[in-house]
């Protein structure tokens, strides 16, 4: 147990606010001011306590239980003297990118790979840089080609890091506030058996709570349907099913929209068995008013549906749950 003031997310939020204020202020006029901006940028990239939630959220797709230390495999242990060294931002975001690629979210994987410049972080933390009149120079004295980044580009890359952190915090806030009024959810808390849980958020106090008092396992038709959907997804966020010998199936570019679904080819008999199971267990996407019966059979966390083209795919994915506009400062 710990008393208040031990959450590193507090520092991460403070760093975000300090960096945001400096970027919104008057033009950077001294090298010292630019140095502080870049160091704050690197601090924001290292906010592993905040980015742990991303690893756990992606783990939901694979039916993985909540992990209190999701980056434990990246930790290094030194024996003399005895100490534990957590992963740096480069390792953390590389791990996130690999995880996103694994579950078929290629667009998200690319975002993780590019949200923070690893060469800038390395240069700043290893004093392997020069602030010159034409920009940030990365010397790379231990190997590699030298790089010069103009200050206008520095402003843009800092803006990207700020926007990413702001987006993540806005998503978390949106999710938490969606439980006012409280909702009851039947599901598994970590690796435990399924049972009803009451999730609530108090907008006046800011308190968020999860409570339950069920004496044993409880399921519902909705829970069982979602369990079946997750099993068919097989650890991917989307999957497509094709019957062998059908040449009129539309070709939909999922990659253009940031996804690489699991592709499953079935014999005609197996495909018919799949459709019968979907119908019997009510696994169709319930958001569809009229279930289509032709096109590419596609599975998402919402259920099965047919799509004919990219317009159908966009409709399947849905609109963003919230809009966020960020314009990096043009001052450098």
Q: In angstroms, rounded to a whole number, what is the distance separating the alpha carbons of residues 202 and 118?
A: 39
Can you spell out the DSSP letters for 124-153? HHTT-EEEETTEEEE--TTSS--EEE-HHH
Q: Do 153 and 27 fall into the same domain?
A: yes
Phi-psi category of 176—alpha, beta or left, where left has phi over 0 and alpha has psi -120 to 50? alpha
Would the CA dihedral through 40, 44, 46, 49 be positive or negative? positive
Question: CB neighbours of 161 closer than 8 A, spacing ≥ 6?
Answer: 41, 44, 45, 115, 116
Containing structural domain, residue 280: 221-317
What pLDDT was estimated at residue 116?
A: 94
Q: Do 165 and 185 fall into the same domain?
A: no
Q: Judge whether 194 and 225 are in contact, CB under 8 Å.
A: no
DSSP state of 239: E
Average pLDDT rounded to a whole number, residues 59-80:
88
Average pLDDT rounded to a whole number, residues 169-183:
93
Starting at the edge strand found earlier in the chain, the sheet holding 262-266 runs 262-266, 239-243, 296-300, 303-307
Last residue of a domain, one of 176, 203, 238: 176
Determine, yes or no, domain membership for 323.
no
Q: Where are the alpha helices (DSSP H) in the chain?
A: 8-24, 31-45, 48-61, 89-102, 106-114, 118-125, 151-177, 221-233, 268-281, 310-317
Q: Do 297 and 233 fall into the same domain?
A: yes
What pLDDT was estimated at residue 321?
A: 62
Q: Judge whether 116 and 97 are in contact, CB under 8 Å.
A: no
Average pLDDT rounded to a whole number, residues 78-102:
90
What pLDDT was estimated at residue 289?
A: 63
pLDDT digits (tens, 9 = 90+) for 27-64: 888 999 999 999 999 999 999 889 999 999 999 999 89
Q: Judge whether 41 and 158 are in contact, CB under 8 Å.
A: yes
What pLDDT was estimated at residue 248?
A: 76
Question: CB neighbours of 309 closer than 8 A, spacing ≥ 6?
Answer: 250, 252
What pLDDT was estimated at residue 2?
A: 62
Q: Judge whether 278 and 258 are in contact, CB under 8 Å.
A: no
Q: Do 150 and 49 fall into the same domain?
A: yes
Q: Do 148 and 71 fall into the same domain?
A: yes
Tell me the C-alpha to C-alpha distance, in Å, between residue 18 and each of 51, 68, 193.
Answer: 19, 28, 44
What dihedral angle (degrees, nearest 10) is formed by the CA atoms of 97, 110, 10, 153?
140
Q: Which residue has the tokens 């480069």?
A: 90
Q: Do 17 and 141 fall into the same domain?
A: yes
Last residue of a domain, one of 176, 208, 242: 176
pLDDT digits (tens, 9 = 90+) for 278-312: 999 999 998 876 667 789 999 999 999 999 998 99
Q: Return the minimum-mean-pLDDT range out of 45-59, 108-122, 203-217, 313-327.
A: 313-327
Question: Residue 272 sits in a domain of what CATH number?
Answer: 3.40.30
Q: Do 118 and 72 fall into the same domain?
A: yes
Per the prediction, the chain carries an average pLDDT of 90
What pLDDT was estimated at residue 143?
A: 79
Counting the structural domains of the chain, the total is 3
Last residue of a domain, one of 148, 176, 204: 176
């Amino acid at each position: 147990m710990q008393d208040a003031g031990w959450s590193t997310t507090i520092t991460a939020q403070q760093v975000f606010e300090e960096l945001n204020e400096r970027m919104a202020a008057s033009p950077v006029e001294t090298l010292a001011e630019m140095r502080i901006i870049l160091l704050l940028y690197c601090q924001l990239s290292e906010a592993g306590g905040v980015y742990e939630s991303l690893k756990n959220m992606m783990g939901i797709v694979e039916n993985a239980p909540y992990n209190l230390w999701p980056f434990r495999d990246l930790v290094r242990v030194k024996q003399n003297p005895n100490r534990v060294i957590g992963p740096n931002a480069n390792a953390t975001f590389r791990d996130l990118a690999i995880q996103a690629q694994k579950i078929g979210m290629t667009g998200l994987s690319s975002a993780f790979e590019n949200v923070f410049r690893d060469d800038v972080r390395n240069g700043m933390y290893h004093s392997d840089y020069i602030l010159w009149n034409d920009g940030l120079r990365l010397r790379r004295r231990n190997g590699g080609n030298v790089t010069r980044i103009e200050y206008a580009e520095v402003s843009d890359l800092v803006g990207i890091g700020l926007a990413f952190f702001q987006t993540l915090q806005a998503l978390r806030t949106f999710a938490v506030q969606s439980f006012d009024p409280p909702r009851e959810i039947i599901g598994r808390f970590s690796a435990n058996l399924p049972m009803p849980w009451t999730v609530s958020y108090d907008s006046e106090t800011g308190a968020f709570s999860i409570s339950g008092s069920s004496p044993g396992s409880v399921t519902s038709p909705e829970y069982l349907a979602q369990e079946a959907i997750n099993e068919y997804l097989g650890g991917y966020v989307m999957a497509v099913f094709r019957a062998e010998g059908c040449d009129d199936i539309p070709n939909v570019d999922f990659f253009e929209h940031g996804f690489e679904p699991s592709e499953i080819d079935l014999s005609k008999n197996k495909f018919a068995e799949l459709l019968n199971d979907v119908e019997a267990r009510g696994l169709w996407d319930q958001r569809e008013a009229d279930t289509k019966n032709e096109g590419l059979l596609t599975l998402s966390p919402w259920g099965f549906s047919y799509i004919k083209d990219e317009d159908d795919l966009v409709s399947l994915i849905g609109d963003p749950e919230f809009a966020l506009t960020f314009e990096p400062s043009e001052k450098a």
